[in-house]
A and B are shown apart, each in its own frame.
Chain A
Amino acid sequence: MAAPSTAPMNAVFASDDAAMAGFLANQKRLRWRKRLLPAIAVVGIFAIWSIAVTALHVKPFIAPSPWAVVDVFRDRLDIMLTNLVPTMIEALLGFTLGNFLAICVATAFVTRKMVEEAFFPIAVMVNTIPIVATAPILVLLLGNGIAPKVAISAIICFFPTLVNMTRGLRDVNQQALELMRVLSASEAEVFFKLRVKNALPYLFSALRITASTSVIGAIVGEWIGSNIGIGALIIQATYNFDSALLYASVVMGSCFSVVFFTIISYVESRTIKWNVVATT
């Protein structure tokens, strides 16, 4: 910001146009390098993959060439998209449900210590069970529809948000808490004016993690008893030795995760305008 008292600071810096131009050129070079290097790496990996598949005579049902995967996206895009939609819905519902429940439980943990002492060990225990082991249990309980997929996705989202949100609500500046007491603030005021805002950066880092894990949950759910969705497509392609379709499905799922993650990061940058690192 334009600060009145920082203006005299300019006098500290002597003007040296040549050095400044060199500095800016170097900055520009570094920026381009940061953009170009990953692109070159991706192209390189594709080239090696393509050459290796032909040179080593890899059978198409073991591993496809990159061009075969691209062909799938061109020729069978309708199948891909029909299967992406249910996975998307399951992941979004699971993400919403899991995070909502985690925020509620974290609130209960922080406002009533006894609730945390009673239930946190259970939450840890449930979290240690691998999701592939929980999935069949949920399919038996909830049937073959969308419900078990959403439940699996929600469970996988629950724990990271619970842990982060609990920390964010609890780790408030001690002197800010004392200040609220001197001001005779009510418990609700301390919660909404201090704890919730303090927890937002923690919540967003959990949301970024769970944006990707929710998609994993939905796909794992679809492996068991489903005939539609990215997960089902992966299973079908594997059984049919359709390696190109398998790879394309994986890429599709991954792209959706990246888009979801990016959206959350964007919302975070719009919501949290204060400098978290500098002030905590």
Chain B
Amino acid sequence: MTVIAPMSSTGATQAENAVACAEVTVRFITARGAVTALDKVSVIVPRGSFLTLLGPSGCGKSTLLRVMADLIKATSGSMTVFGDRPSVARRNREIGFVFQDPALLPWRTALENVMLPLEVGGGVARQGHRSARDLLAMVGLAGWEDAFPHELSGGMRQRVAIARALVTGPRLLLMDEPFGALDEITRDRLNEELLDVWASTGVTIVFVTHSIYEAAFLGQQVLLLAARPGRVRELVPVDLPSPRRVALRETPEFVALAGHLRRVLETC
């Protein structure tokens, strides 16, 4: 495994924004005709910030995340990640991705799953990355290094997936409804833990969810998307104190914010 230094000659490190997305349109051609998944979506994600994408199903929030990760190409518009094309950011190990399905390899132990990113794609990690063991401990799985995925609960598997996404030391963490399949209590706990991870690593997070409470609790900003075609409805700033704990959701400020998000969502 080799470690590459952050590049200083390119514009990557000078850029103020982690993600800059200008008029991004994504169209798919299917057997039933053309579908516009995203229609001229523009958004700026400042470095070190936490943005949640909220919207009804079919609003293209997962598609937007996949354009950032270079899993889908934009049909038109411009998308830059740390001042460069997403494909460059991907190859430079700037991006970590957590899916709804933890997608752990069942034949690998928790530790081996976390180490997978270091074994493929040239085995490069960015400078300042943390060891797989440290990351497992950070997500509360010290002592579980040698457990296989089938021995872990759903919440523990998703914790392993988060550690795996962070092992190359990315500066941008993209999360696609990572806690969507978990029960409420586990989801609340993981939401708190994710905020701790965010605070301790300084990573920029873009988080897709269809839960109003999750979007409001986690994000510094909530980007509301409307469906068919997917377009920006409103960018809502979240002025809630940090560090946030689940009890925050009972405060009048939070209730008012959630109410606002709900009313906007109903018109999406």
Q: Which residues of A contact B (CB under 8 A)?
A: 1, 3-4, 173, 175-176, 178-186, 189, 193-194, 197, 200, 272-276, 278-280
Contact = CB atoms under 8 A, between A and B. Distances in A.
A159 B122 CA distance: 37
A276 B106 contact: yes
B106 A274 contact: yes
A183 B150 contact: no
B117 interface: yes
B103 A179 contact: yes
Nearest to A179: B103
B99 A183 contact: no
B168 to A, nearest CB: 8
In which size bucket is the chain B interface? 20 to 34
Closest 8 CB pairs of A and B: A279-B106, A184-B121, A275-B150, A278-B150, A185-B120, A175-B103, A175-B99, A176-B103
Interface string B114-146: 001101111000000000000000000001101
B71 A189 contact: no
A182 B69 contact: yes
B143 A181 contact: no
B150 A274 contact: yes
Nearest to A275: B150
Nearest to B95: A182
A279 B120 contact: no
Contacts of B122: 184
A197 B143 CA distance: 26
A3 B156 CA distance: 13
A279 to B, nearest CB: 4
B217 interface: no
Contacts of A273: 107, 148
Highest count of chain B CB atoms <10 Å: which of A180, A181, A183:
A183
A185 B168 CA distance: 14
B107 A274 contact: yes
10 contacts: A4-B143, A173-B103, A182-B71, A183-B116, A184-B122, A186-B120, A197-B105, A274-B150, A276-B106, A278-B106
A193 B115 CA distance: 12
B16 interface: no
Given A175-B101, A275-B150, A189 B121 contact: yes
Contacts of B103: 173, 175-176, 178-179
A274 B100 CA distance: 22
Given A182-B90, A184-B90, A275-B148, 10 more contacts: A1-B146, A3-B144, A3-B151, A175-B99, A179-B97, A181-B70, A183-B117, A185-B120, A273-B148, A278-B150
A98 B95 CA distance: 44
A178 B91 CA distance: 14
A160 B125 CA distance: 42
Contacts of A173: 101, 103
B149 A279 contact: yes
Interface string B92-112: 000111011101111100000
Contacts of A184: 90-91, 120-122
Contacts of A180: 120
Contacts of B90: 182, 184
